[in-house]
Protein backbone atom coordinates (compact mmCIF):
# COMPACT_ATOMS: atom_id res chain seq x y z
CA UNK A 1 0.00 0.00 0.00
CA UNK A 2 1.54 3.28 -1.10
CA UNK A 3 1.65 6.08 1.44
CA UNK A 4 1.25 9.73 0.51
CA UNK A 5 4.16 11.84 1.81
CA UNK A 6 4.94 15.54 1.63
CA UNK A 7 8.56 16.67 1.94
CA UNK A 8 8.99 20.43 2.10
CA UNK A 9 12.07 22.29 0.90
CA UNK A 10 13.24 25.89 1.09
CA UNK A 11 16.35 27.90 0.42
CA UNK A 12 18.96 26.94 3.01
CA UNK A 13 17.73 23.44 3.81
CA UNK A 14 20.27 20.70 4.50
CA UNK A 15 20.52 18.82 1.21
CA UNK A 16 21.69 15.49 2.65
CA UNK A 17 18.61 15.35 4.85
CA UNK A 18 16.17 16.36 2.11
CA UNK A 19 17.49 13.97 -0.52
CA UNK A 20 17.86 11.10 1.97
CA UNK A 21 14.24 11.42 3.13
CA UNK A 22 12.92 11.63 -0.44
CA UNK A 23 15.09 8.79 -1.73
CA UNK A 24 14.42 6.29 1.07
CA UNK A 25 10.67 6.90 1.11
CA UNK A 26 10.47 6.50 -2.67
CA UNK A 27 12.44 3.25 -2.42
CA UNK A 28 9.76 2.06 0.00
CA UNK A 29 7.07 2.85 -2.56
CA UNK A 30 5.76 6.09 -1.10
CA UNK A 31 4.09 8.66 -3.30
CA UNK A 32 6.41 11.54 -2.34
CA UNK A 33 5.59 15.12 -3.27
CA UNK A 34 8.42 17.59 -2.85
CA UNK A 35 7.02 21.07 -2.25
CA UNK A 36 8.85 24.38 -2.18
CA UNK A 37 7.66 26.93 0.38
CA UNK A 38 9.21 29.74 -1.67
CA UNK A 39 8.06 31.51 -4.80
CA UNK A 40 9.99 29.17 -7.10
CA UNK A 41 10.18 25.43 -7.58
CA UNK A 42 13.98 25.72 -7.53
CA UNK A 43 15.77 26.23 -4.22
CA UNK A 44 19.41 26.54 -3.25
CA UNK A 45 20.29 24.27 -0.36
CA UNK A 46 22.76 25.08 2.44
CA UNK A 47 25.85 23.87 0.55
CA UNK A 48 24.87 25.35 -2.81
CA UNK A 49 23.15 22.29 -4.27
CA UNK A 50 20.19 23.23 -6.46
CA UNK A 51 17.03 21.19 -5.85
CA UNK A 52 13.79 21.39 -7.82
CA UNK A 53 10.43 20.75 -6.17
CA UNK A 54 7.46 19.01 -7.76
CA UNK A 55 5.17 21.89 -6.85
CA UNK A 56 4.72 24.93 -4.65
CA UNK A 57 3.27 24.43 -1.16
CA UNK A 58 0.06 26.26 -2.11
CA UNK A 59 -0.77 23.36 -4.43
CA UNK A 60 -0.59 20.94 -1.49
CA UNK A 61 -3.00 22.81 0.75
CA UNK A 62 -6.17 20.85 1.43
CA UNK A 63 -4.61 17.49 0.54
CA UNK A 64 -4.23 14.66 3.05
CA UNK A 65 -0.78 13.17 3.66
CA UNK A 66 0.15 10.12 5.72
CA UNK A 67 3.36 11.95 6.63
CA UNK A 68 4.73 15.49 6.36
CA UNK A 69 8.53 15.50 6.70
CA UNK A 70 10.84 18.49 7.10
CA UNK A 71 14.59 18.51 6.49
CA UNK A 72 16.67 20.87 8.60
CA UNK A 73 19.48 23.33 8.12
CA UNK A 74 19.06 26.58 10.07
CA UNK A 75 18.26 28.85 7.12
CA UNK A 76 15.93 26.29 5.62
CA UNK A 77 14.16 25.67 8.93
CA UNK A 78 13.59 29.40 9.36
CA UNK A 79 12.08 29.58 5.86
CA UNK A 80 9.86 26.58 6.60
CA UNK A 81 8.75 28.16 9.91
CA UNK A 82 7.82 31.39 8.14
CA UNK A 83 5.45 29.63 5.72
CA UNK A 84 1.91 29.97 7.12
CA UNK A 85 0.49 27.38 4.70
CA UNK A 86 2.98 24.79 5.95
CA UNK A 87 2.55 25.57 9.65
CA UNK A 88 -1.25 25.34 9.28
CA UNK A 89 -0.86 21.98 7.52
CA UNK A 90 1.45 20.73 10.28
CA UNK A 91 -1.02 21.72 13.02
CA UNK A 92 -3.79 19.87 11.17
CA UNK A 93 -1.47 16.87 10.72
CA UNK A 94 -0.87 16.68 14.48
CA UNK A 95 -4.53 17.16 15.38
CA UNK A 96 -5.61 14.46 12.91
CA UNK A 97 -3.20 11.91 14.36
CA UNK A 98 -1.24 11.59 11.12
CA UNK A 99 2.56 11.53 11.17
CA UNK A 100 4.75 14.62 11.10
CA UNK A 101 8.54 14.50 11.22
CA UNK A 102 11.53 16.82 11.28
CA UNK A 103 15.29 16.60 11.53
CA UNK A 104 18.18 18.86 12.57
CA UNK A 105 17.09 22.47 13.22
CA UNK A 106 13.48 21.95 12.14
CA UNK A 107 12.17 20.34 15.37
CA UNK A 108 13.38 23.36 17.39
CA UNK A 109 12.80 26.09 14.82
CA UNK A 110 9.55 24.91 13.19
CA UNK A 111 7.87 22.41 15.52
CA UNK A 112 8.64 24.18 18.81
CA UNK A 113 7.62 27.60 17.48
CA UNK A 114 4.27 26.17 16.32
CA UNK A 115 3.60 24.29 19.56
CA UNK A 116 3.85 20.92 17.80
CA UNK A 117 6.24 19.34 20.32
CA UNK A 118 5.45 21.15 23.56
CA UNK A 119 3.67 18.03 24.83
CA UNK A 120 6.10 15.58 23.17
CA UNK A 121 9.56 14.18 23.72
CA UNK A 122 11.77 15.22 20.81
CA UNK A 123 15.32 15.58 19.61
CA UNK A 124 17.05 18.03 17.29
CA UNK A 125 20.50 19.36 16.42
CA UNK A 126 22.43 19.25 19.72
CA UNK A 127 23.09 23.00 20.01
CA UNK A 128 19.32 23.64 19.75
CA UNK A 129 18.20 21.15 22.42
CA UNK A 130 17.77 24.06 24.84
CA UNK A 131 14.99 25.36 22.57
CA UNK A 132 12.67 22.36 23.01
CA UNK A 133 10.66 21.56 26.13
CA UNK A 134 11.22 17.79 26.44
CA UNK A 135 14.61 17.09 24.81
CA UNK A 136 15.92 13.55 24.42
CA UNK A 137 19.54 13.02 23.35
CA UNK A 138 18.96 10.18 20.88
CA UNK A 139 19.43 9.90 17.12
CA UNK A 140 15.71 9.43 16.45
CA UNK A 141 12.80 9.99 18.83
CA UNK A 142 9.20 8.91 18.25
CA UNK A 143 6.46 10.24 20.51
CA UNK A 144 3.00 9.42 19.23
CA UNK A 145 2.69 10.64 15.65
CA UNK A 146 5.77 12.91 15.92
CA UNK A 147 9.20 11.72 14.74
CA UNK A 148 12.35 13.83 15.21
CA UNK A 149 16.05 13.36 14.55
CA UNK A 150 19.36 15.14 15.16
CA UNK A 151 21.06 16.00 11.89
CA UNK A 152 22.88 15.06 8.68
CA UNK A 153 24.64 12.05 10.23
CA UNK A 154 21.32 10.59 11.42
CA UNK A 155 19.41 11.24 8.17
CA UNK A 156 19.53 7.65 6.93
CA UNK A 157 18.48 6.19 10.29
CA UNK A 158 15.69 8.78 10.47
CA UNK A 159 14.49 8.01 6.93
CA UNK A 160 14.44 4.28 7.61
CA UNK A 161 12.45 4.95 10.80
CA UNK A 162 9.92 6.85 8.68
CA UNK A 163 9.62 3.76 6.46
CA UNK A 164 9.18 1.62 9.58
CA UNK A 165 6.31 3.71 10.97
CA UNK A 166 4.57 3.86 7.59
CA UNK A 167 5.13 0.28 6.41
CA UNK A 168 6.46 -1.83 9.30
CA UNK A 169 9.78 -3.37 10.34
CA UNK A 170 10.06 -5.84 7.49
CA UNK A 171 9.84 -3.12 4.83
CA UNK A 172 12.38 -0.96 6.67
CA UNK A 173 14.71 -3.98 6.94
CA UNK A 174 14.23 -4.74 3.22
CA UNK A 175 15.18 -1.17 2.25
CA UNK A 176 18.11 -1.09 4.68
CA UNK A 177 19.45 -4.40 3.33
CA UNK A 178 19.12 -3.26 -0.30
CA UNK A 179 21.03 -0.09 0.59
CA UNK A 180 23.73 -2.13 2.39
CA UNK A 181 23.03 -0.34 5.67
CA UNK A 182 23.27 -3.51 7.75
Give the per-residue pLDDT at 152: 98
| Residues annotated as part of the active site | 104
Give the per-residue pLDDT at 1: 83
Does residue 26 fall inside a structural domain? yes
Question: How do the pLDDT tens digits run along the chain, 182 residues long?
Answer: 899 999 999 999 999 999 999 999 999 999 999 999 999 999 999 999 999 999 999 999 999 999 999 999 999 999 999 999 999 999 999 999 999 999 999 999 999 999 999 999 999 999 999 999 999 999 999 999 999 999 999 999 999 999 999 999 999 999 999 999 97
Domain total in the chain: 1
Buried b (16+ CB within 10 A) or exposed e, 8-18: bbbbbbbbbbb
Does residue 12 fall inside a structural domain? yes
Give the per-residue pLDDT at 122: 98
Give the per-residue pLDDT at 182: 78
Does residue 75 fall inside a structural domain? yes
What CATH number is given to the structural domain containing 155? 3.40.50.880
Does residue 181 fall inside a structural domain? no
Cβ-contact 53, 35 below 8 angstroms: yes
Does residue 29 fall inside a structural domain? yes
Does residue 182 fall inside a structural domain? no
Does residue 80 fall inside a structural domain? yes
The 10 Å Cβ neighbour count of residue 23 is 16
Domain enclosing residue 24, as ranges: 4-175
CA atoms of 108 and 5, how far apart (whole Å): 21
pTM for the model? 0.98
Does residue 51 fall inside a structural domain? yes
Nearest to 70 by CA among 60, 59, 81, 61: 81
Amino acid sequence: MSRKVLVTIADGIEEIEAVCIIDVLRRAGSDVTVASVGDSLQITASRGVILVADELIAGCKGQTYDLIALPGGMGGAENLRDCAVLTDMLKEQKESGRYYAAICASPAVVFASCGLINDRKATCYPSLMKDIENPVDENVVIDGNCITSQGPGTALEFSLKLVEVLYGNSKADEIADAMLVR
